[in-house]
Structure 1
Amino acid sequence: MSADGQIMDSSSLEKLGNNKNGSVKQVLLDGCVPFSHQVAGHKCGINNTGVLQHPDGTILKQLQAPPRGPREMNFYKQVFAKDCTDTRLLELQQYLPKFYGTWAPRESSHELFLKLEDVTRRFLRPCIMDVKIGRRSYDPFASPEKREEQISKYPLMEEIGFLLLGMRVYQIDSDSYITHDQLYGRSLGKDTVKNGLTKFFHNGRELQRYAVSLIISKIRSILHWFESQTKLHFYASSLLLVYEGSPHIINGSRHKPADPGTKHQQGEPQSNSNNPHEALSFQSSLTHSHPYCHNVQHERNGNRKRGGSVEEEDEEIGMGDKKQFGQEEAVEVKMIDFAHVFPSDCPDESYIYGLRNLLSTLEQMLKD
């Protein structure tokens, strides 16, 4: 992907091994393949491939090195705990990809992955954008050097409040995707960031105004959650925006999932007692001197064990794939990336600022 956009047709995607509908794929551990719709984020771990797709349709995100990886894992465990009674966290679940526990391949049991819902699964031609939200992309524990590094990447983050990290947009006439990476996002200024967002909603013929409107509605719901909670602050976290690029499956027509939904495959069991990643709780991963730390109770799942390398899994994946596919289902917005989430005792004004600016820019698109 290049800063000025790169057109990728079906044949080139197949050669890369990451075309969801193609027959050529790079098969990795336990039948996993590179996730075809990753538009941003770190690439690490097995063959430096980044996010993987499991044969059952979920995606696998490898844990980063401590404290980031364990912090993100325990954030998901806290929010999706079976015994969670915190109404704010229960409400937050709808804005996150579903969490299916952790997973490790049979061939490399020391590699630990988060097993998450593929929110692009129900789309035939998903258009995807990753938008980092907030006035700063470093957390309060970052060293002065790290702060300077992050600020230098996009000095306008403080003023704009969001950064386009990557996008993949389906073009109807060429039956191909145009992609833009974070270098393109960083090239956008106050006067051009709206143009960057417009590119994401344009299919080569026209602006997909229905998608803009529905995504605005979903972002407003997330904003409402942030305005009503004072327990958590999110740094370097993103929104994943998705809408259906194919004009043939909207307005009630039946959509066939790209891959069949099946139950999780079972592998070798994981043991918390033998897993160094599991030893760090969400609370213990925090530095005691954190300026926003407050006595927040972090609930975690008990040490329940099930057979196989997937923990805390008792529901079938893909149950929502066989519904009528109307306009409301033709878009999706989810919060992702939680390696820098910390307790607080006040509203997350940085994230709120970013959401409001993003909403304002999208609303202006509809007025133009």
Structure 2
Amino acid sequence: MDSLSRTLEKLEKDNKKKGSVKQVPLDGCVPFSHQVAGHKCGINNTGVLQHPDGTILKQLQPPPRGPREMHFYTQVYAKDCTDTRLMDLQQHLPKFYGTWAPRETPNELYLKLEDVTKRFLRPCIMDVKIGKRSYDPFASQEKRKEQISKYPLMEEIGFLLLGMRVYQIDSDSYITHDQFYGRSLGKDTIKNGLTRFFHNGQDLQRHAVSLIISKIRSILRWFESQTQLHFYASSLLLVYEGSPRTVNGWKHKRAEIGREHQQGEPQSNCNKPREALSVQGSLTHSHPYCHERNANGMCVGSVEVEHEEIGMGDKKQFGQEAVEVKMIDFAHVFPSNSPDEGYMFGLRNLLSTLEQILKD
């Protein structure tokens, strides 16, 4: 067992001993305000964090999932990588900036990743699990039965809505739906669930549907060209701009969220946004906005991401820049020598459903 695996096992045991102690974000990091799926901040869980430099932090899972996901990112983003298939895959993933650890607990490792929502004023976000199976080939029979009963539609249509948040123009607020909403959708109602993601309370955002279809097709072409990796329990993160404003030269600040609703309930304070702070913490990889570090390792001369101009003109609003589609969650990626038919099955059915939304 390597040192990383031993460290992660120790952390898992320590967390169990803490019982119901609420985890407190460290070094200026705050809960990521745009998380729509997965374990969110709360009892015994930090959730996805926002680093002061604008990146996001995903805590490594216990072995073998955590080391497997880190291996995937380091393999794809290796500086000496010469595999053209892996290099082509980079465009479909969040950028990877190595690992990060709090100064107080240096053995607590996080993956440091690009925040793909940061350039949007009012990001509408959906997490879609892709594939015919939500368990990997090494899962126990008990795990397989659990996953099949939890996500019965996966084998039939190859995708599942895990969560979404959609900006509503009239109320200047977000409506959110979690995985229980997604699991309540059947084969006959899954299109309605997807349609809800693209509706701002006034109109269906057809341009966003069309642009997202184009990006998903690009991901499908990558899968059709490769036979070396199989992906299980992985997701697509879909993002489009919910703001109706198209004024050029607007300064980019993280969306100041108004009232939040999750099936009629106010959203937890865990997801309140936080403006960027000065860089703190122990970095094991240079962060993307740092041009120079001082003797103490602190970043100086960095770009303040909240002052970047994004130019929300018509070209931005209706061009490719108005949407984003990224693959996420790689704790169950395995080497292979055959096409990933399960993942492609899910992508094709998702594309077919989105195309039907445009036709209606």
Regarding TM over 0.5, the answer is yes
1:363 corresponds to 2:355 = yes
Q: Which of residues 336, 340, 356 in structure 2 aligns to 1:344?
A: 336
Report if the CA contact (8 A) 1:57-1:260 is conserved: no
Q: CA 1:255–1:212 in 2, change beyond 3 Å: closer, same or farther?
A: farther
Q: 1:48 is paired with a residue of what secondary structure?
A: coil
Report if the CA contact (8 A) 1:104-1:309 is conserved: no
1:145 corresponds to 2:132 = no
- Paired with 1:146 and 1:179, the residues of 2 have a C-alpha distance of 29
**1:186-209 superposed Cα distances (whole Å, 9 cap, x missing partner):** 111111000000000000001000
- Paired with 1:53 and 1:132, the residues of 2 have a C-alpha distance of 23
**1:190-246 superposed Cα distances (whole Å, 9 cap, x missing partner):** 110000000000000010001000000000000000000001000000000000111
Q: Which of residues 248, 256, 263 in structure 1 aligns to 2:252?
A: 256
Q: Which of residues 26, 31, 42 in structure 2 aligns to 1:29?
A: 26
Code of the aligned partner of 1:117: E
Task: Compute the TM-score of the two structures, normalised by the length of structure 2.
Answer: 0.78
Q: Which residue of 2 aligns with 1:242?
A: 239
- Paired with 1:103 and 1:58, the residues of 2 have a C-alpha distance of 11
Q: 1:29 is paired with a residue of what secondary structure?
A: coil
1:354 corresponds to 2:346 = yes
Q: CA 1:28–1:319 in 2, change beyond 3 Å: closer, same or farther?
A: closer
- Paired with 2:165 and 2:277, the residues of 1 have a C-alpha distance of 27
Correspondences of 1:186-335 after superposition (within 5 Å): 186-249=183-246, 254-258=250-254, 265=280, 267=282, 321-325=308-312, 326=316, 327=318, 328-335=320-327
Q: Which residue of 1 aligns with 2:93?
A: 96
**1:269-307 superposed Cα distances (whole Å, 9 cap, x missing partner):** 69xxxxxxxxxxxxxxxxxxxxxxxxxxxxxxxxxxxx9
Q: Which residue of 1 aligns with 2:180?
A: 183
- Please report the RMSD computed on the Cα atoms of aligned residues, expressed in angstroms: 2.7
Q: 2:330 is paired with a residue of what secondary structure?
A: coil
Report if the CA contact (8 A) 1:243-1:331 is conserved: yes
Q: CA 1:71–1:349 in 2, change beyond 3 Å: closer, same or farther?
A: same
Q: CA 1:66–1:27 in 2, change beyond 3 Å: closer, same or farther?
A: closer
Q: Which residue of 1 aligns with 2:57?
A: 60
Code of the aligned partner of 1:334: K
Gaps of 5+ in 1: 1-25, 271-306
Gaps of 5+ in 2: 1-22, 255-273, 286-294
Code of the aligned partner of 2:151: Y
- Paired with 1:94 and 1:233, the residues of 2 have a C-alpha distance of 18
Task: Compute the TM-score of the two structures, normalised by the length of structure 1.
Answer: 0.76
Q: Displacement, 1:156?
A: 1.6
Report if the CA contact (8 A) 1:129-1:166 is conserved: yes
1:117 corresponds to 2:114 = yes
Aligned sequence identity (%): 77
Q: 1:118 is paired with a residue of what secondary structure?
A: coil
**1:33-74 superposed Cα distances (whole Å, 9 cap, x missing partner):** 000010001347995231000011100000000000000011
